Amino acid sequence: MKLLACLLLAACVFECSAYMQNVTVKGVAHWSWEKRLANVKVELWEKDTLDPDDLLATIHTNSEGEFTVFGEQDETHAIAPYLLITHNCNVEKLNCNRIGQYVVPKEKIGATYDMTYVTLDIKVHGEKEKCK
Ligand SMILES: *[C@@H]1O[C@H](CO)[C@@H](O)[C@H](O)[C@H]1NC(C)=O
């Protein structure tokens, strides 16, 4: 009986305990090849099925359009991170922004996902446009 209780407890600790996971995403935001975009907002989010998604980190691209964002979170299941990049390339009105979503591949969790050049002209799946 004692042994069984111990086994159950051990299984639960293994199954139920959260563990720290991280991801680093880097890239260069650009528009029409020659134009690198400075000061573009890059947010790293983590998708949660039951709770609202968590914002892990927010940064802005530097004068060369480069960004490196790091985030970590304690979860019981594998984290599902994604980036939101807010920019105004090819918007119809000046006061509008496009918000593109870029999913981080599962195998990049615990490592660095190098997106190299992120071409913001290209519309991505599930993209939103927000106007002030
Ligand atoms: C990120 O996670 C990996 C894999 O679990 C680990 O080896 C690494 O030390 C972590 N990096 C940081 C900065 O926490």
DSSP 3-state of 104: coil
Report the pLDDT value the prediction gives residue 125, as an integer from 0 to 100. Answer: 84
Query: Which residues surround ligand 1 with Cβ inside 6 Å?
Result: 22, 72, 110
The conformation of residue 105, written as its DSSP 8-state character, comes to P
Give residue 44's pLDDT band: very low, low, confident or very high (50, 70, 90).
Answer: very high
For residue 49, being part of any structural domain is answered with yes
Q: What is the pTM of this model?
A: 0.85
Q: Whose CA is nearest to atom 9 of ligand 1?
A: 110
Report the pLDDT value the prediction gives residue 26, as an integer from 0 to 100. Answer: 98
For residue 5, being part of any structural domain is answered with no
Give residue 1's pLDDT band: very low, low, confident or very high (50, 70, 90).
Answer: low
Distance 109 CA to ligand 1 centre (A): 9
Report the pLDDT value the prediction gives residue 53, as an integer from 0 to 100. Answer: 95
For residue 118, being part of any structural domain is answered with yes
Per the CB < 8 A criterion, the answer to whether 40 and 61 are in contact is yes
Q: Residue 99: CB partners within 8 Å, gap ≥ 6?
A: 84, 85, 86, 127, 128, 129, 130
For residue 6, being part of any structural domain is answered with no
pLDDT digits (tens, 9 = 90+) for 46-98: 998 888 999 999 999 999 999 999 999 998 889 999 999 999 988 888 899 99
What separation in angstroms does the CA of 39 have from each of 8, 19, 64, 77? 52, 33, 9, 33
For residue 90, being part of any structural domain is answered with yes
Report the pLDDT value the prediction gives residue 30, as an integer from 0 to 100. Answer: 94
User: What are the two backbone dihedrals, phi and then psi, of residue 15, each rounded to the nearest 5 degrees?
Assistant: -75, -40
CATH number at residue 65: 2.60.40.3330
Which atom of ligand 1 has the smallest separation from the CA of 70? 13
The arithmetic mean of pLDDT across residues 12-18, rounded, is: 67
Q: Whose CA is nearest to atom 8 of ligand 1?
A: 110
Report the pLDDT value the prediction gives residue 50, as an integer from 0 to 100. Answer: 83
- Side chain identity at 106, as an amino acid letter? K
What is the tally of structural domains in the chain? 1
Range of the domain at 43: 20-131
For residue 26, being part of any structural domain is answered with yes
Distance 110 CA to ligand 1 centre (A): 5
Distance 20 CA to ligand 1 centre (A): 8
- Pick the more confident residue, 90 or 33: 90
